[in-house]
Structure 1
Amino acid sequence: MCKILTIPCGNVNCYLLDCDSFAILIDTAREKYRDYLIKKLEGYNITLIILTHGHIDQIGNTAFLSKHFNAKVAMHSDDYKLSKNNSIHNIYVNSFLGNFLRFTSLKALKKVTTENFEPDIFFSDGDSLNKFGLDATIIHIPGHTKGSIGVLLNNNELIVGDTFMNVIYPTEALIVEDIDMLRKSVLKVSLLNIRLLYPGHGKEITSIKVTL
């Protein structure tokens, strides 16, 4: 069983799966947190970097860290083009807070560039991580982005990217590419009997409400 370590980088969470002889990093934050991440990751044998989705606040240090640790990069193929250009898809909101997040996200997008990288692996729903030494499963949970994925491990814990967030209170994603897809993903997660959700923003979530 691997330990899940949260690495807050501003308002974005990266997660390190510490599996003793090796480690897996989930998301890489913005470039300005590079030095901080290097210090936090010192001494770990990181063999794989998993990206929950293609937004810049999740992928900003991927190129650098994959080279630094000689680690493979994995994501869902549906977010490959998004990782190259975060402006290619429209973003919709479903609350007042969502409007604010959309405004700040689009504003930040104009100021940030990300070093290019090429994924080594494209994950699909239900893929096992056993060949990487981890008893875990990839869960495809589109809506926030088309290629959003989560990592289900330790039987009932799910690292969920931005499909859920806990900024002010626990909620499903407040900015989305497809609200219908998101609602189906929320229902899908609710049926998994999850004990803890680890979101891309905010603290762990112990219970979820299904909005249909």
Structure 2
Amino acid sequence: MYKIITIPCGNVNCYLIEGNNFAILIDTAREKYRKHLLERLENYNIILIILTHGHIDHTGNAAFLAKHFNAKIAMHSDDYKLSKNNSINNIYSNSFVGSILKKVSLWNFKKTSIEEFEPDLFLTDDQSLKEFGIDATIIHIPGHTKGSIGILINDNELIGGDIFMNFLYPSEALIAEDIDMLRKSIKKIELLDLKLVYPGHGREITSVKISF
């Protein structure tokens, strides 16, 4: 069993997977949390940074941390262009709260810039991470973004990026590039019979039976 450490950065979660004498970082938060991340990560040998998708609140420190730790950056190729410009794709909301979140997100996309980075590798659906020393699998779960991915680990746990969120209660992502595709990805996840989901926003989720 691998230990998964949650690192809250404001309303975004980054995650650390501990291996033997190394660690893998999932997502990197916004630039303003750089000092906080360095303090939390200083005792780890980070060899790989996985980005669950291309939005700035998950990629903001990717370039800096990759240089600092001499780590590789990995993501899905479908979010490569999005990581350069978060405004290139339309996003849609699925609730009143989602409509507010959409406005805030669009404002942030236009106002915020990050240090550019080039991924060292592109991850694909059902790809094993054994070459990096951990028994885990990449799951392509498009919808929130076209290139959204999750990391299936410990057989029944998923680090899921923004397919779910869990502030007051578990829900599907409140904004998405393709809401129908998001829900198809949730159905795909339901078939995995998960025990635990680590969302990009909010607390851990113990059931993925989400009502639409």
Shorter chain as denominator, the TM-score bin is over 0.9
* Alignment partners' CA distance in 2, 1:41 and 1:91: 33
Unpaired segments ≥5 residues, structure 2: none
Q: TM-score, normalised by structure 1?
A: 0.98
Could you report, residue by residue, the CA deviation over 1:100-159 in whole angstroms, capped at 9, with x for unpaired residues?
111111122232111000000100100000010000000000000000000000010000
Q: What's the Cα RMSD here? A: 0.9
Unpaired segments ≥5 residues, structure 1: none
Per-residue deviation at 1:208?
A: 2.0
- 1:58 maps to 58
Which amino acid is the alignment partner of residue 103 of structure 1?
K
Per-residue deviation at 1:210?
A: 4.1
- 1:84 maps to 84
Alignment of 1:1-212 (within 5 A): 1-211=1-211
The 8 Å contact of residues 75 and 121 in structure 1, kept in 2 or not, is answered as yes
Q: TM-score, normalised by structure 2?
A: 0.98
Which amino acid is the alignment partner of residue 133 of structure 1?
G
Which amino acid is the alignment partner of residue 58 of structure 1?
H
The 8 Å contact of residues 141 and 185 in structure 1, kept in 2 or not, is answered as yes
* Alignment partners' CA distance in 1, 2:97 and 2:167: 10
* Alignment partners' CA distance in 1, 2:160 and 2:129: 16
The 8 Å contact of residues 136 and 153 in structure 1, kept in 2 or not, is answered as yes
* Alignment partners' CA distance in 1, 2:127 and 2:44: 25
The 8 Å contact of residues 183 and 211 in structure 1, kept in 2 or not, is answered as no
Between the two proteins, the alignment pairs up a number of residues equal to: 212
Per-residue deviation at 1:18?
A: 1.2
The 8 Å contact of residues 194 and 208 in structure 2, kept in 1 or not, is answered as no
- Identity over aligned residues, as a percent? 70
* Alignment partners' CA distance in 2, 1:208 and 1:64: 34
The 8 Å contact of residues 129 and 136 in structure 1, kept in 2 or not, is answered as yes
SS of structure 1 residue aligned to 2:100: helix
The 8 Å contact of residues 2 and 20 in structure 1, kept in 2 or not, is answered as no
